[in-house]
């Protein structure tokens, strides 16, 4: 047995990992589960045409085991496995790892962010483990192999037995706890359960673990501990389901749970797309603005999944600023799991998806305005200001999207009126749109000039927000 050195760029990445900030470390679990799921996908796909695989979909699973005594966390799959050569090529260098763009500059700040946002695959295990062991047997091969590494210098590969057959078992020997970092949290079943829920809930194969339940019977009696194998993930994401299977209540519950809102949303948009871009999206228009919405701290964005695996908590590039209040998830198989933020921003598919989403949000809002005016006006009172900023700040680029969504109070009956409505009831001799600016509706109504225009039978829009006049000027220019 011989120890081989990691390639130079792998070393650098490993270094980066070890120094990554704590909250990012937990994504290692997502990464190994997603690899396990990929491996199962491959063998499952093979099984559809190759009867020698001898497995059906329900046979495939990912198993997690916690061993507190030995401080190990084990994830195993019965997927396609790896040959000796695969081990060498796939785990020996990160160059093969998806489309991870290795950054050449030395700006650790950004690197750390990449880890948090996207993860960097298998190597992320070294953020929490002092030793990683991979035991694997490839489909179609007789011999199993064991790959071991401390993540610092290199790795070893040796022949071994794997009595449970084809697939891969990854064992992480967790690092020792320090004052700042408690790696033993990954030996806690509740923590593992919640991480699977958070990041891997929608993996298509069951993720199982033996879970202990403590029952407290009568007082004074010893509690009983029951153990049971449980599936931790729900397997089908709500956005993958058919609309006909889902009720408003299902949509709303998911929204409130996922985005931590205690009020149901105004409406949702569930769209499935195939063609130039393949993706499923489930978007929500919230009923109320988060407390920091109109501040600099607010971060817009949609949760981004790649084939059921979350790759980004808030992908800002999916939403224009004028729709920054929208919450939701986008799941696309066109995007690679390990894509870096820089590459993602330039990604053609992502741009197409963003354009489509903008259109559907606009259409949904116009529909709401048409069919449920009251609801729309309530929504508009919360988020309408954003549209005006949108028109103003985009120098008119957002005109087409937003012009029919705008509303202003007017002299007609004091109620809100859209520009379309205004124009549709303009007098025949009226050539212009009239507006008057003031702090409040009441103040505007006391303006002497207003009477003159009203006497002609012309309607006057009331501009009570500073941005109103700027926005309209951008629009008519």
Specify the stretch interacting with Mg ion by CB under 5 A; choose among 39-47, 84-92, 113-121, 420-428.
113-121
Under rule CB under 6 A, residue 340 binds ligand ADP: no
Specify the stretch interacting with ligand ADP by CB under 6 A; choose among 30-38, 267-275, 365-373, 454-462.
30-38
Write down the residue that tokens 């920054």 correspond to: 324
The count of chain residues that interact with ligand ADP, using the rule CB under 6 A, is 18
Distance CA 327, CA 255 (A): 9
Identify which of residues 39 and 319 has a Cβ nearer to Mg ion in the complex: 39
Exactly one of 36, 203, 266, 277 binds ligand ADP (CB under 6 A); that residue is: 36
How, if at all, do strands 144-149 and 154-160 pair? antiparallel
Question: Is residue 230 a contact partner of residue 209, using CB atoms and an 8 Å limit?
Answer: yes
In the beta sheet, which residues pair with residue 446? none
- Closest contact distance (angstroms) between CB of 96 and Mg ion is 11
Identify which of residues 119 and 409 has a Cβ nearer to Mg ion in the complex: 119
- Residue 154, C-beta contacts closer than 8 angstroms, at least 6 positions apart: 3, 4, 5, 6
- Closest contact distance (angstroms) between CB of 93 and Mg ion is 14
Backbone φ and ψ for 180, nearest 5 degrees, come out as: -90, -30
Exactly one of 10, 47, 78, 168 binds ligand ADP (CB under 6 A); that residue is: 168
Question: Is residue 196 a contact partner of residue 34, using CB atoms and an 8 Å limit?
Answer: no
Under rule CB under 5 A, residue 121 binds Mg ion: yes
Q: Which residue is nearest to ligand ADP (CB)?
A: 121
C-alpha 182 chain-centroid distance: 26
Distance CA 371, CA 377 (A): 12
Site for ligand ADP in 79-138 (CB under 6 A): 79-82, 90-91, 97-98, 121-122
What 3-state DSSP class applies to 372?
coil
Q: Which residue is nearest to Mg ion (CB)?
A: 121
Under rule CB under 6 A, residue 77 binds ligand ADP: yes
Exactly one of 78, 332, 338, 340 binds ligand ADP (CB under 6 A); that residue is: 338
Distance CA 308, CA 315 (A): 15
Question: Is residue 169 a contact partner of residue 134, using CB atoms and an 8 Å limit?
Answer: yes
Contacted by 82, from Mg ion, ligand ADP, none: CB < 5 to 8 Å by type: ligand ADP
Contacted by 79, from Mg ion, ligand ADP, none: CB < 5 to 8 Å by type: ligand ADP
Write down the residue that tokens 């598919």 correspond to: 349
Specify the stretch interacting with ligand ADP by CB under 6 A; choose among 6-14, 74-82, 190-198, 315-323.
74-82
Identify which of residues 78 and 411 has a Cβ nearer to ligand ADP in the complex: 78
Specify the stretch interacting with Mg ion by CB under 5 A; choose among 31-39, 221-229, 291-299, 424-432.
31-39
Identify which of residues 203 and 337 has a Cβ nearer to ligand ADP in the complex: 337
Specify the stretch interacting with ligand ADP by CB under 6 A; choose among 28-36, 103-111, 210-218, 362-370.
28-36
* Burial (CB count <10 Å: 0-12, 13-18, 19+), residue 185: middle
Question: Is residue 79 a contact partner of residue 38, using CB atoms and an 8 Å limit?
Answer: yes
Specify the stretch interacting with ligand ADP by CB under 6 A; choose among 73-81, 182-190, 314-322, 438-446.
73-81
Distance CA 273, CA 339 (A): 21
Under rule CB under 6 A, residue 280 binds ligand ADP: no
What 3-state DSSP class applies to 252?
helix
Specify the stretch interacting with Mg ion by CB under 5 A; choose among 19-27, 33-41, 371-379, 419-427.
33-41
Backbone φ and ψ for 230, nearest 5 degrees, come out as: -125, 150
Identify which of residues 168 and 340 has a Cβ nearer to ligand ADP in the complex: 168
- Closest contact distance (angstroms) between CB of 235 and ligand ADP is 18
| Exposure string for 333-362, b = 16+ CB within 10 A, e = fewer | ebbbbbbbbebbeebebbebbbebbbeebb
- Tell me the two tokens of residue 42: 């491959």
Contacted by 78, from ligand ADP, Mg ion, none: CB < 5 to 8 Å by type: none
- Residue 50, C-beta contacts closer than 8 angstroms, at least 6 positions apart: none
- Closest contact distance (angstroms) between CB of 120 and ligand ADP is 7
Distance CA 404, CA 387 (A): 10
- Closest contact distance (angstroms) between CB of 232 and Mg ion is 19
Specify the stretch interacting with Mg ion by CB under 5 A; choose among 17-25, 27-35, 260-268, 427-435.
27-35
Under rule CB under 6 A, residue 33 binds ligand ADP: no
- Residue 238, C-beta contacts closer than 8 angstroms, at least 6 positions apart: 246, 250, 251, 254, 282
- Closest contact distance (angstroms) between CB of 418 and ligand ADP is 49
Residues that bind Mg ion (CB under 5 A): 35, 121
Q: Which residues contribute to the site for ligand ADP (CB under 6 A)?
A: 31, 35-36, 39, 77, 79-82, 90-91, 97-98, 121-122, 168, 337-338
């Amino acid at each position: 047995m011989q120890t081989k050195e990691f390639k130079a760029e792998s070393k650098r990445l490993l270094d980066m990992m070890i120094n990554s900030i704590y909250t990012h470390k937990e994504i290692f679990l997502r990464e190994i589960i997603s690899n396990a799921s990929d491996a199962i996908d491959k063998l499952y796909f093979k099984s559809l045409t190759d009867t020698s695989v001898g497995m059906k979909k329900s046979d495939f699973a990912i198993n997690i085991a916690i061993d507190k005594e030995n401080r190990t966390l084990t994830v195993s799959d019965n997927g396609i496995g790896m040959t000796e050569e695969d081990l060498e090529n796939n785990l020996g260098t990160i160059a093969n790892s998806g489309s991870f763009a290795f950054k050449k500059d030395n700006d650790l700040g950004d690197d750390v962010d990449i880890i948090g946002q996207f993860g960097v695959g298998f190597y992320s295990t070294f953020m929490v483990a002092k030793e990683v062991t991979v035991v694997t047997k490839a489909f179609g091969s007789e011999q199993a192999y064991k790959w071991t590494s401390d993540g610092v210098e290199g790795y070893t590969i040796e022949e071994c037995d794997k009595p449970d057959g084809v697939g891969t078992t990854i064992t992480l020997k967790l690092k020792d706890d320090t004052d700042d970092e408690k790696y033993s949290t990954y030996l806690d079943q509740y923590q593992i359960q919640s991480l699977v829920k958070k990041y891997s809930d929608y993996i298509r194969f069951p993720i199982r673990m033996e879970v202990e339940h403590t029952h407290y019977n009568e007082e004074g009696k010893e509690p009983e501990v029951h153990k049971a194998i449980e599936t931790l993930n729900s397997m089908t994401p709500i956005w993958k389901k058919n609309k006909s299977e889902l009720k408003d209540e299902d949509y709303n519950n998911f929204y409130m749970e996922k985005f931590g809102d205690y009020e149901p949303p105004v409406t949702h948009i569930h769209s499935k797309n195939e063609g130039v871009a393949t993706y499923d999206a489930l978007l929500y228009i919230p009923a109320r603005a988060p407390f920091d919405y109109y501040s600099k701290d607010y971060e817009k964005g949609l949760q981004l999944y790649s084939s059921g695996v979350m790759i980004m908590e808030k992908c800002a590039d999916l939403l224009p600023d004028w729709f920054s209040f929208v919450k939701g998830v986008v799941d696309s198989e066109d995007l690679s799991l390990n894509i870096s933020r820089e590459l993602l921003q330039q990604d053609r598919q992502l741009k197409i998806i963003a354009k489509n989403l903008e259109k559907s949000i606009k259409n949904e809002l116009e529909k709401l305005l048409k069919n449920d005016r009251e609801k729309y006006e309530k929504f508009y009172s919360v988020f309408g200001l954003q549209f005006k900023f949108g028109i103003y700040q985009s120098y008119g680029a957002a005109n087409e999207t937003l012009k029919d969504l705008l509303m202003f109070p007017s002299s007609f009956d004091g109620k809100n009126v859209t520009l379309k409505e205004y124009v549709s009831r303009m007098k025949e001799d009226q050539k212009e749109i009239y507006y008057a600016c003031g702090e409040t509706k009441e103040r505007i109504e006391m303006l002497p000039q207003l009477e003159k225009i009203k006497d002609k039978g012309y309607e006057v829009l009331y501009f009570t927000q500073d941005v109103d006049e700027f926005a309209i000027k951008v629009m008519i220019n």
